[in-house]
Structure 1
């Protein structure tokens, strides 16, 4: 006799290991994992999930942006669906667990339920989300925004960093239809909740000796990806200091001044991060005996608080003017991009903490400094939660090292919360 409820059903961890192994093969670039957004690696990963889901007898569909939805039908299909999922693309030379762990966990949960004949009260849907990593296109959360009809025509003309072809072209190549960008694939009113499992991308869980993090909120961002400081190229020996327009000095002073602003904000109790991930002279002109006339840099500010992001951006604009004037250089910040912070659902957070305690899973509440697709769901009014799984060596690098025992703990917790919400 088929079980009606999946409360005690173990996720299919043999399938999970097989999926990780396949994704490793699909994405390996010789050093790490590269599955470009709307590239061959992401496409092959999506096709593999689709194939496995079909073999399990699960329903499969895609939307216009080729997000993938895998559904175990519930007894009452008119009820709002319980959802889980994450992304399958990676940064260049990244790791095999960032994003993929959430898809693997969701599919292993559904496979376990199918194996035991479990039937939820409502649909439970796994979403394999396209193009979460903005390393490829200068647009945040492409797949989840597309699902809710939040992408605009300008975003579809964004060009991928390696191919220089537009997002619309890449979507079409994957089998989608960018002309339907105003047609959402998801309606918030038809979603009971969204729970995303993801590896932690920092050292907090390692430092706290906890297997799982239960996320309280997700940072938003304020970014200048392609800022430039322009001076004058000149001979290093023949140009006295008074006559120099040194782009390196201007850029260095800009970095130092913004860093000091960060320290002052933290001293006042503000919570944010500031990163200059790119800082480079023009390799075609730079030379040890030449005063640099151009420096390119990026500015990445993140915070869970929108007011603080706005305040810091205003300070950046003021400081840029000051530095440019004081150092006889020109500073062009370029396009301003960003994302909105999101708060996770208090009720689901409390339920997860209780489930973790009852299951003797070591868990702590913590914020997410990185952005995730869950932010889009939360800001669309969907009750949303995130689970972090302990992971050594950070993420966005080939050395990601999630212990499978920790993945099992996080997946069991995911299974329990999805079961509770679909009871």
Structure 2
């Protein structure tokens, strides 16, 4: 973090008091921190507080030009290696989503070319409001990195999601950003994603609740770092990420044949797909009619793709996923060893914010030596970014 230039935008929410600790941690780690406050933010914390902690002038007024040799908001926009908006209120999120520039902070944001992290903080009902969720989706699509708020007691008295991430976790996210492997050019990623569908008859099938969002996020993150990515996808409603080659499959057998046919060319295999463990033995050729009170469906095991990859891999770096509902650490580490994986990403899908079909996840990553990475509830895109960064470190021989 030494010498890294971080601009922190503080909006008008009660969580502004927590940002003082965040700025202090960045400064203690050697970062060059500049703070921009909205007028509303100064009602909660004074500019003098942030000036003292950052040892730099705090910008509030767009027209307060202290240095005639530069235009302040352009100079700050150009200065940043990274922007962090904390707390990100519903108001500032709406302004960012729609390109408004009516104060020093929003004007500078429009002018910067730096990556932007956003740490929302607001009442649980505000956070759940469809308009706010839509605005956050717009930011994600624009490439902003959202650090999902935690759940708990809120300043307004409610209990629920909306509490800004803690200062130490924000600082860790910034540190991780600067540790990212800059380039994966020349590396070939094979990523599996989504569910499979095992036919019962021409109109029915066995499947699961996987949306494919985690796998697609991994493919997108790897491609953004220059990797050549092949995405083998079960049925989803998602569009292929830019620069990613996608092969669509339906059944577990189709996914198995595709993966085995492509794995020798891969440097990294990331298996996020939720592949069916069983399939009907004799799918009916025509629609089964509702006649009997009960129906017995005979199932047989599908091929364990991860097990085959683990046995056949030579030079490949193999990452698996484990969706569990209890004893997560035990089952994940057993699977890591049994299937010869290099990393395993595990989550408890019974926990709110970590299950199927959502936009967030809560994961722990293990390697053969123990826990390698643990992430609180955050967006699947952020999980993917951190996972790809960890894979990049391992490929380059760093631990």
Query: TM (normalized to structure 2)?
Result: 0.24
- Flag the structure with more relative contact order, 1 or 2, with Cα contacts below 8 A and sequence separation at least 6: 1
